[in-house]
Amino acid sequence: MKTKKSQFLQDVLVVAAVVLILIILLFPFVWMVSSSLKPKTEIFSKNLEIIPRNATLANYKKLFFTTDFPFFFLNSFIVVSASVLFTVVISALAAYSLSR
């Protein structure tokens, strides 16, 4: 039988492990968002910083207004929607036949 102290220590270790794994998994996403808010000179500087000194939305403006990104995004949305609809219909039919 576990004592309260050993159970507490086990809970603390589990929470610490989960937090460490969460930090490792979220770091690339945080770095990506941080880099998207930096000007080009700050992205390629030798000083690696997570929080941008001069945050800017110019990269997003360039993405949406000077590239074909909205068109590509719409194409991807249409393909994904059709795939999901097709998969749900086929899966529902398969589930019905397996349940009978």
| pLDDT tens-place string over residues 27-61 | 999 999 999 999 988 988 888 888 998 899 999 99
pLDDT band at 1 (very low <50, low <70, confident <90, very high): low
Global pTM exceeds 0.85: no
Give the residue with greater pLDDT, 54 vs 91.
Answer: 91
Q: Same domain for 11 and 50?
A: yes
Structure tokens given for 29: 């996403």
**What pLDDT sits at residue 82?**
98
Per the structure, the count of domains in the chain is 2
Q: Same domain for 81 and 53?
A: no
Any idea which residue has 């000007």 for tokens? 39
Range of the domain at 94: 68-100
Q: If you average pLDDT over every residue of the chain, what do you get? A: 93
Q: Same domain for 77 and 98?
A: yes
Q: Same domain for 30 and 20?
A: yes
Structure tokens given for 23: 């930090």
Q: Same domain for 29 and 75?
A: no
**What pLDDT sits at residue 98?**
93
Q: What is the number of other CB atoms lying within 10 angstroms of the CB of residue 79?
A: 10
